[in-house]
Amino acid sequence: MQTSLSYLQVNRDLLNNLLSSPTRVWYALLGCDLVVLAFGLYCWIYQIHAGLGVTGLAHPVGWGVYITNFVFWVGIAHSGTLISAVLFLFRARWRTPIARSAEAMTIFAVMTAGLFPIIHLGRAWNFYWLLPYPNQRQLWVNFQSPLVWDAFAITTYFTVSFLFWYTGLIPDLGAARDRTAGLRRKLYSLFSLGWQGTDRQWHHYLSAYGFFAALATPLVVSVHSVVSWDFAMSIVPGWHSTIFAPYFVAGAIFSGLAMVLTLLIPLRRIFGLEAYITDYHFDNLGKMIILTSLILSYSYASEFFIAWYSANPYERSIFWYRAVGDYAPLFWLMVTCNCAVPLLLCWKSIRTNTLWLFGIALLVNVGMWLERFVIIVSSLSHEFDPAAWGLYQPSWVEVGMTVGSFAWFFLFFLLFVKFLPLVSLAEVKEHLPPAESGSSAVEADESERPLLPVSEAARVGRGAGIVGVFTNLDTLVATVRSLRREGYKNLSVVSPFPSPALEEALGTRKSPIRYFTLIGGLLGCAIGFALPTYTALDWPLQTSAKPIVALPAFAIIAFELTILFGAIATLIGLLINARLPARSVAITHDPRFSEDRFGLLVPYTAEQTGDLRRLITAGGAEEVYGQGV
pLDDT in tens, 84-105: 888 898 888 889 999 999 999 9
8 Å CB contact between 148 and 226: no
CA 276 to chain centre: 19
Higher pLDDT, 267 or 446: 267
Residue 442: per-residue pLDDT = 42
Residue 605 has pLDDT above 70, yes or no: no
The H or E element containing residue 377 is helix 354-381
8 Å CB contact between 116 and 73: yes
Instruction: Work out the average pLDDT over 194-209.
Output: 94
DSSP tag of 325: S
Q: What's the rounded Cα separation, in Å, for the pair 523 and 527?
A: 6
Highest mean pLDDT: which range of 16-30, 396-410, 607-621: 396-410
pLDDT digits (tens, 9 = 90+) for 104-127: 999 999 999 999 999 999 888 888
The H or E element containing residue 135 is none
Residue 155: per-residue pLDDT = 93
pLDDT digits (tens, 9 = 90+) for 179-191: 998 899 999 999 9
Q: What's the rounded Cα separation, in Å, for the pair 185 and 553?
A: 49
Q: Which residues are CB-contacts of 321 (< 8 A; sequence separation ≥ 6)?
A: 327, 378, 382
Residue 608: per-residue pLDDT = 65
Q: Where are the domains of the chain?
A: 457-510+583-627, 513-577
Residue 451: per-residue pLDDT = 41
pLDDT digits (tens, 9 = 90+) for 384-428: 989 889 999 999 999 999 999 999 999 999 999 999 999 999 999
Q: What's the rounded Cα separation, in Å, for the pair 114 and 163?
A: 18
Residue 607: per-residue pLDDT = 62
The H or E element containing residue 347 is none
Residue 458: per-residue pLDDT = 47
8 Å CB contact between 178 and 452: yes
DSSP tag of 90: T
Residue 441 has pLDDT above 60, yes or no: no
Quick check: helix, strand or coil at residue 468? Answer: strand
pLDDT digits (tens, 9 = 90+) for 294-321: 999 999 999 999 999 999 999 999 999 9
DSSP tag of 470: E
Q: What's the rounded Cα separation, in Å, for the pair 81 and 42?
A: 33
Compute the mean pLDDT over every residue in the chain, rounded to the nearest whole number.
89
The sheet with strand 623-627 has its strands ordered as 492-494, 598-602, 465-470, 623-627
Instruction: Work out the average pLDDT over 280-292.
Output: 94
Residue 30: per-residue pLDDT = 94
Residue 460: per-residue pLDDT = 67
pLDDT digits (tens, 9 = 90+) for 529-540: 999 999 989 888
Q: What's the rounded Cα separation, in Å, for the pair 8 and 427?
A: 14
Q: What's the rounded Cα separation, in Å, for the pair 140 and 133?
A: 7
Q: Which residues are CB-contacts of 464 (< 8 A; sequence separation ≥ 6)?
A: 603, 604, 627, 628, 629
8 Å CB contact between 518 and 108: no
pLDDT digits (tens, 9 = 90+) for 319-341: 999 999 999 999 999 999 999 99
Amino acid letter, residue 258: A
pLDDT digits (tens, 9 = 90+) for 126-166: 888 878 887 777 788 888 889 999 999 999 999 999 999 99
Residue 376 has pLDDT above 80, yes or no: yes
Q: What's the rounded Cα separation, in Å, for the pair 188 and 174?
A: 7
Residue 312: per-residue pLDDT = 92
Residue 539: per-residue pLDDT = 85
Instruction: Work out the average pLDDT over 227-256.
Output: 92
8 Å CB contact between 102 and 260: yes
Residue 2: per-residue pLDDT = 61
8 Å CB contact between 288 and 86: no
Residue 127: per-residue pLDDT = 85
Instruction: Round to the nearest angstrom and report the end-to-end CA distance of the chain.
Output: 44
8 Å CB contact between 539 and 139: yes
Exposure string of 598-627, with b = 16+ CB inside 10 Å and e = fewer, is: bbbbbbbeeebeeebbebbeebbbeebeeb
Residue 367: per-residue pLDDT = 96
- Could you please report the per-residue DSSP string of 202-255? HHHHHHHHHHHHHHHHHHHHHHHHHHHHHHHTS--TTT--TTHHHHHHHHHHHH
Higher pLDDT, 498 or 80: 498
Residue 102: per-residue pLDDT = 93
Residue 440: per-residue pLDDT = 43
- Identify the CATH number of the domain defined by range 457-510+583-627: 3.30.70.120
Residue 568 has pLDDT above 90, yes or no: yes
Residue 1: per-residue pLDDT = 59
pTM above 0.75, yes or no: yes
Distances (CA, A) of 177 to 174, 236, 401, 478, 513: 5, 55, 38, 30, 27
Instruction: Work out the average pLDDT over 492-503.
Output: 92
Amino acid letter, residue 327: Y
Distances (CA, A) of 154 to 141, 350, 385, 533: 17, 36, 34, 21
pLDDT digits (tens, 9 = 90+) for 474-489: 999 999 999 888 888 8
